[in-house]
Structure 1
Amino acid sequence: MSVSSRSRLTCSACTRRKVKCSKTVPCTNCIRRDQQDTCGINDAQGNPTSPPQSLTSRAQELDYLRQRLTQLENEIHQDNPTDRVATAHNLHPETPDVHSNETVHDIDSIAATRDAATVLEFLAWGRRKDPDCHTVVSIEPAENVSPGVDTGILQDLSQLPVLQLLLPNAQQVRQLVDYHRDCLLWYHGSYFDPTFQTQLSDFYDTHNGMIEDPAVNLQWVALLFSILTASLTCAPDTQARAWGFDEAERETLSRRWFQAIITCLNRADYTSNLNILSCQAITTATVSAHLLGFSTTQSIHLATAVRVAQSLGIHHLGPDIAGNLVVNETGRRVWCELCNQDWFSIPFSETYLISPRYTTSAPPSNSHDHDLIPVDADIPTITSYSRFLRDIAIIMPQLQDGLISSNTAYTRYEKVLNYDARLRGLATRERPLFMTNAPLDSTWPVWVPWARHALAITSSHKIVMIHRSFLLDSFVNPAFAFTRRTCLAASKTIIKEYNCLVEEDGPTLWIHQAFAVAASITLLLDVLHRDPGERECSEHRTHAQNVVRILKSRRDSMIATRGTKLLEAILAQTAPDVMQQRRGKHNRDGTPAIKFNVSALVRDFCKSNSANLPLAFPQDHASSPSSEDPPPMYHSSDSNLLGTDFTQSHPSFPFPATGANSFDDLLYLANYDFTNT
């Protein structure tokens, strides 16, 4: 190709000035001169593929570059026809031929198989883990505004008058705040209620409940909206109606209030004007964020809250630090919740922000708010649940470090068994008395039964998370039979507790639905690795169907909506006739010719939900050995927190080359939001 056939890449302004150009549009010189709007390229040859003189977006620049690549490819083809295939592969990766497409799918399948189960669970939260799904699913639910309805200024929550309109009357605000104190604060412990009650009284008595008052701290208003959102989202329907909120208004206000949290924080410039109030608002918002479909937004703000808290020194509130007792104790409570949220997210993010090694803050004291005098751990206080949850959460970063430092599947599985035993000991032998099956004391708070269910569900879910990297291997390799038995028992415990919660009139916590979906996924994966006639197939399908039935009754929850779609898709693949058809084909040596392809399910579920198409599951022509050690039956009468089989000793085992599987992909799907939900 001759020099004269090349198109000019320097912009017109740099050409006139005879200065060196960065050959980008806009170029650095034009940006420096504040002339980026007029930066453009004049092709002296009059090339029709040249861009216009004014390019104001990266999209136009990218389009131009694609045209230039096509032109260069054609010129190369004219000079050397034998290189056309190679050139096409190099310059057009977005349009591969059939063979290259198969290669890409093979690579995707390997990546998806690595940790598929958490990916599926993650989808129910509206979070992203699998990059292949990014182009076909939306992250957060879009606003549902009826066509033709012009809401005008009401859509602009950045205006303080609009935020003022969102507040209910003072009586309803106090009712929602009191409900949060009595029924939800035990779950996260992110703020000190006596302090907040004083601030709330001042808000109405001194500032007449006016958000627009310049003396009102918008970061405190964010905390107020966070508390209100959690109460309205989690309270039973009967309670919400008693406050005066019908179903339609409840749905609208809960979402608007959550958005108001972020608006207030941003208007207060909370990343510059550091205040513990922003950390309290964000950690409290976790209670409602997942149910409302704002999991991705919440995860980003939690990360920011960690940095704000560290800047305030909250991570260094040791037991002997001087200062105001209430202030220090409030800081410890907030930091404890930030640690719990960060460490429990490790199975999904595979990293963590808070290093236990550099955290010197003491856990919050087990004390009542009216005196802050430490009491025995067996006495329930507003911090009891968070304190014990921290003991469980700290296992997760230690496990992550251990897995990363291990070089073989043998040593990785040793780490899994070690931390499995640690969590088992915590959950069964080191629980506070009120968290066990001891008879309820009439002096205990109303939330104690709910805390028992929550701890059983959370502990069981964390057992599955500890074993997640070996879960799919456990279905086909008897060496990991202990993982299979453990995860199945834990999953049945979660579903048993979830069924009990439905019959009670307590608040709805996001972990109830999310972890029930994860448990159902685990049971259905087990079904997919069994012969259709085995008794466990019917039992596990029944458990999952019961979860779907409950989830369908929670139309106000995004986790329930996504989880229902995913579980119904997997249930369809575990139907006896479908299973029999899959098992009907064998290789010449008698081994099954077709096995269920989890990574294909993940990929096709993403595509079908983005386009509302029927699910079509490709099948992988490979043998699928079944485990010789099926899990034992689960008995609902058993009262063990983690299930009957959690007291078994660890078996001896040989190890395969890897411990990878696709469990994470399934968990991811369960928590992801799709465009056409």
Structure 2
Amino acid sequence: MPKQRSTCTRCSMKRQKCDRQTPCSRCVQNKEAHLCTTEWTNGYNPAVHRKYPRKSVPPTPQSSTGEVNGAQIPHVNPQAWSSLPNSGPGLPLHLLPQVPEGAFIPSIEPHDQSKLPNPSSTNVDFVTYGRSDVADVSMGTLLQEKEAYARKEALMEKTLNQNRTKTCMDDALTNSFSPAAQSVEVFHLQSLLPHKYQVLRMVDYHDRCMSYWTGGIYHAPSFRKSLLEAYGESDEIDLRDHDWRWAALLFSILSGAMIGSPEADSAAWGFSDSDKLKLSRAWGNAQVSCLHLGDYASRHHIYSVQSILNMHTSEHLVGSTKEWAAYQAASTVIARGLGLHKLGRHPDDGKSPLEMTAEQKDALLQREVGRRVWNALSAQDWLCSTSQGMYSLQKRHFSSLPPGHFDEETMMPVRDDNTPTYTHISNYLHEIAYTLVRYLDDMLDAPDLSAKYHVVLRYDAIMRAMPLEKIPKFLDPRTPYNPAWPQWTAWARRSYQASSAHKIIMIHQSFLGKSFKDPRFMYSRWACLSSAKIIIEAMDKRHPEEPQWWVEQAFVVTAGLCLGLDLFHRSESDAESTEHQTWLEKAIKILEQWPTSSVAAHGIRLLTSLLQEYTKKLGGSKPDSRPGSISFPHNIAPQALAAEASETPVDTTPQSDPIDHEPWANADYDVDMLVFEDLLDGLPMQTGLDNNAFYESMLSLTNPF
């Protein structure tokens, strides 16, 4: 009985030593463990698979009947062999079957055609024999076969040598960590989860008080249900038993709820004020780790996009702005991979959930959540367009409809805009964002300064008309407030009043510096100053139980900058000088309400320095002869301030002494920038303020959404 084969086919064909393991070490090293086998595809063929081919026999004259050394060789049907793809043109020579001269070649009779390789075969192991797969040597075919092999549980268990139930830890695609590092990271993530009742209360708070701001990008009732199922009867969640991308969404919700909630709420959950920044940053980092453990970049899932979008509620407050921007770009790619940009009209869109089956209801929910996510992605991209001078998503490149208006619990359609829903807010914000995109395009097309200012005036009128014509009724201050509405509607009313004023500043920002010197642009000066006062007045009416939003803090800083710069272009006898100084002091006091926010701390530094310089100017004190007597660190972007705040509390009390120089990170600035063109010229150079450092610091602050 012949000895059972122990050398794998891959090593045999490559004429290399095999350690005869399953899989062998060479196949594992070459990342071909899924192809390692001792079985020849379609059986062993000595003409092709012989390890040491015989020496070639010297050619001898052959008769037409195929006689060699007196032996009768059957006639070979050339048409039959030409049907094999190996004889086709264009293939590399090393892929062609090497048949030694004088070797026995059997004839192929018509009744043996069934034994020919199947042209439709998709076996990736085409090196071992002249199979038809050679005709389709494409990346798609190879990757498809590789994934098919990877899905075979038995082979994977042999390769990974696992003797326990498979969990997410066993995923072969999780390559971001070594096995040892992965085990340590999972243990660390597990230790970061707070107690069950704390998790449930924070998730509930995020749903009631914060989901409206992101437009309901995740369905809170469904997430709450999945969270309760994950806990079951236990008081702990074993993260290894759940999707890491789902865990990333959980940590992003915890991080946002912790940093966004008022101190009274977080204290009721059992957390001290000193824990807020530390835990929010730790949970934000845990979210990123979960994304990598779930291999989010190659295994696309809507959980990944939702968790990244939800980072927006906390990352700017704790200072990880640039990190969020990088992940946001990745989330757009993932959303496209999921087809969220192609969620057009569906036959079931107009139906009532009462008329649908359970499957139809689930499909409706998935479509609407997908539309909400894409709506949020495109709006955030467009809202940055005026500050960055560009945008990535073209409206003509996607066909997704705006999300519909539904009751979150029952998914029953809401027919009027007097009933508050998350999507009423997000759709209105989307219209504002698209208006800014059109403004940018028209500004880029304008040939000269005069034409550009006409564009500014035209969009000033458009932006002022939007709160009067297109705003949902429950957000309109002219509509009487209904106490039966959710609590967040009162907060959203005030926030969108400040947001509308801020968009006017965004429209005029490129002409604000020119307006201090050229009377042709005086309207821009008035528009920015009046909008700044509206912002400060609206934020001064903020309810103490509201969550904090970095956007609103950035609104206040922007308003204070406009008023502070105007002070340097007025005489001391001007009555408005005293008024604007009072407004500026009020802006600083408003920012002092958020001691844990890097955006607020950054703004306090800027506005306090402006106020100090103006006070020196009024007192007639001579500026320090040293350049930049009140200079800023090279990087006072939110992420740098957040790093400092992690070690020492941010002192928001105005100091009379100049700000000391401190070592900071590389001089790179926040991607969300409010580009006030020509403000460097607008700030008088005779002041003691380091204009270059101030200008860079101001640019690093905002373009809030």
- Normalising by structure 1, we get a TM-score of 0.64
Percent identity of paired positions between Structure 1 and Structure 2: 31
Distance, in Å, in 2 between the alignment partners of 1:291 and 1:455 is 20
Residue of 261, 265, 270 corresponding to 2:287:
261
After superposition, what is the alpha-carbon deviation per residue over 1:488-515, rounded to whole angstroms, capped at 9, x for unaligned? 11111110011111x4321111112111
Matched residue SS, 1:538? helix
Task: Assess if the C-alpha contact under 8 Å between 1:157 and 1:260 holds in 2.
Answer: no
Shift of the 287–472 alpha-carbon distance from structure 1 to 2, 3 Å rule, reads same
Q: Does the Cα contact within 8 Å between 1:309 and 1:315 map onto a contact in 2?
A: yes
Residue matched to 1:308: 334
1:252 alignment partner AA? K
Task: Determine if contact 1:161/1:212 at 8 Å carries over to the other structure.
Answer: no
TM-aligned CA distance change 1:374 to 1:608, over 3 Å: closer
Spell out the pairing of 1:604-619 with structure 2 (5 A cutoff).
604-607=631-634, 614=658
1:341 to 380, 384, 390: 380
Amino acid paired to 1:300: A
Q: Quote the offset at 1:372 in angstroms.
A: 4.0
Q: Which residue type is aligned with residue 344 of structure 1?
A: L
Q: Quick one: structure 1 residues 230 and 601, their matched pair in 2 at CA, closer, same or farther if it must change by over 3 Å?
A: farther
Which amino acid is the alignment partner of residue 491 of structure 1?
Answer: A
Which residue of 2 is the match for residue 284 of structure 1? 310
Change (3 A) 1:460 1:665: farther
Equivalent-residue separation in structure 2 for 1:538 and 1:259 (angstroms): 46
CA distance 1:615–1:207, change in 2 (3 Å) = closer
Once residues 559 and 519 of structure 1 are traced to their aligned partners in structure 2, the CA distance between those partners, rounded to angstroms, is: 14
Bigger mean CA offset, 200-209 vs 562-571: 200-209
Residues 82-109 of structure 1 deviation map (CA, whole Å, 9 limit, x = unaligned): xxxxxxxxxxxxxxxxxxxxxxxxxxxx
Please point out which of 356, 361, 365 is paired with 2:395.
Answer: 356
Q: Report the AA paired with residue 346 of structure 1.
A: S
1:534 alignment partner AA: D
Q: Is it true that 1:436 corresponds to 2:476 in the alignment? A: yes
**Pair 1:158–1:385, CA change in 2 (3 A):** farther
Gaps of 5+ in 1: 1-154, 584-599, 617-657
Give the whole-Å Cα distance in 2 for the aligned partners of 1:157 and 1:523. 54
User: Aligned partner of 2:365: which letter?
Assistant: V
State the alpha-carbon separation in 1 of the partners of residues 329 and 698 from structure 2: 23
Question: Which of residues 192, 201, 205 is equivalent to 2:228?
Answer: 201
Q: Is the 8 A contact 1:469 1:661 kept in 2?
A: no
8 Å Cα contact 1:517/1:670 also seen in 2: no
Residue of structure 1 equivalent to 2:697: 669
Where does the alignment leave 5 or more consecutive residues of structure 2 unmatched? 1-180, 349-359, 645-654, 661-675, 683-691
Question: Cα distance, 1:382 vs. partner?
Answer: 2.3
Instruction: Write the distance in 1 (CA, Å) between the matches of 2:677 and 2:274.
Output: 48
Q: Secondary structure at the match of 1:555?
A: coil
CA distance 1:570–1:389, shift in 2 (3 Å)? same
Q: Which amino acid aligns with 1:496?
A: E
Q: Is the 8 A contact 1:562 1:671 kept in 2?
A: no
| Contact preservation (8 Å) 2:572, 2:618 | no
Q: 1:500 to 1:156 in 2, by over 3 A?
A: farther
CA distance in 2, matches of 1:394, 1:221: 33
Pairwise mapping of residues 378-389 of structure 1 onto structure 2 (< 5 A)?
378-389=418-429
User: Which stretch of the first structure deviates more once superposed, 321-330 or 660-669?
Assistant: 660-669
Letter in 1 for 2:538: E
Aligned partners of 2:286, 2:555: CA distance in 1, in Å? 28
Q: Distance in 1 between matches of 2:182 and 2:698?
A: 32
Deviation at 1:421, TM superposition (A): 1.5
Aligned residue among 190, 209, 219 for 1:192: 219
- Equivalent position amino acid for 1:219 in 2: R
Shift in CA distance, 167/321, structure 1 to aligned 2, threshold 3 Å: farther
Aligned residue type for 1:415: V
Shift of 1:284: 0.8
CA contact (8 A) 1:157 1:163 kept: no
Partner deviation per Cα, 1:318-374 (whole Å, 9 max, x = no partner): 233777111110001111111221111223322212112223211111221222414
Report how many aligned residue pairs link the two structures.
460
C-alpha distance in 1 between matches for 2:234 and 2:368 = 28
Partner of 1:465: 506
Q: Say if 1:532 and 1:579, in contact at 8 Å, map to a contact too.
A: no
In structure 2, the partner of 1:550 is 590
Structure 1 position 180, deviation (Å)? 0.8
Structure 2 equivalent of residue 177 of structure 1: 203
Matched residue, 2:104:
none
- Is 1:409–1:659's contact at 8 Å kept on the other side of the alignment? no
Q: What SS is found at the alignment partner of 2:313? A: helix
Q: Secondary structure at the match of 2:632?
A: helix
**d(CA) in 1 for partners of 2:255 and 2:635?**
33
| Secondary structure at 1:605 match in 2 | coil
Q: Does 1:329 align with 2:329?
A: no
Q: Distance in 2 between matches of 1:608 and 1:159?
A: 31
Q: How does 1:354-433 map to 2 (within 5 A)?
A: 354-369=393-408, 370-433=410-473
Q: 1:244 to 1:474 in 2, by over 3 A?
A: same
Q: Distance in 2 between matches of 1:543 and 1:158?
A: 52
For residue 518 of structure 1, what is the aligned residue in structure 2? Answer: 558
Bigger Rg, structure 1 or 2: 2
Q: Distance in 2 between matches of 1:512 and 1:298?
A: 18
Aligned-partner Cα distance in 2 for 1:475–1:577: 18
In structure 2, the CA distance between the partners of 1:225 and 1:410, relative to structure 1 (3 Å rule), is same
Q: Is the 8 A contact 1:608 1:615 kept in 2?
A: no
